[in-house]
Amino acid sequence: MTDTAETSLPPGAAPSEAERDEEAFHIPDELALALTEFAAVEQVSRGEAICLILRDYLRAKGYLPRVT
């Protein structure tokens, strides 16, 4: 599968940082709201909240080793 950022620009043109961020990752509104609430309750930044959630999920699925 080809990233749309790679195909939507003319050769040699570079997307702006905002365009790269928007195309690289979009969080649906309901997930963004839940993430903001989680971050507030846990008293962490949104970035830290994303890492905590991903770490727990990836461990549960067996992609990351369990910490002993």
DSSP calls for 9-67: S-TT----HHHHHHHH----HHHHHHHHHHHHHHT--HHHHHHHHHHHHHHHTTSSPPP
pLDDT(64) > 70: yes
Q: What is residue 16's predicted lDDT score, i.e. its pLDDT?
A: 72
Q: What is residue 37's predicted lDDT score, i.e. its pLDDT?
A: 97
Sign of the C-alpha dihedral computed for residues 33, 36, 37 and 38 taken in this order: positive
Task: Please write the tens of the pLDDT for every residue from 8-42.
Answer: 556 666 767 666 655 677 889 999 999 999 999 99
User: What is the reported pTM?
Assistant: 0.60
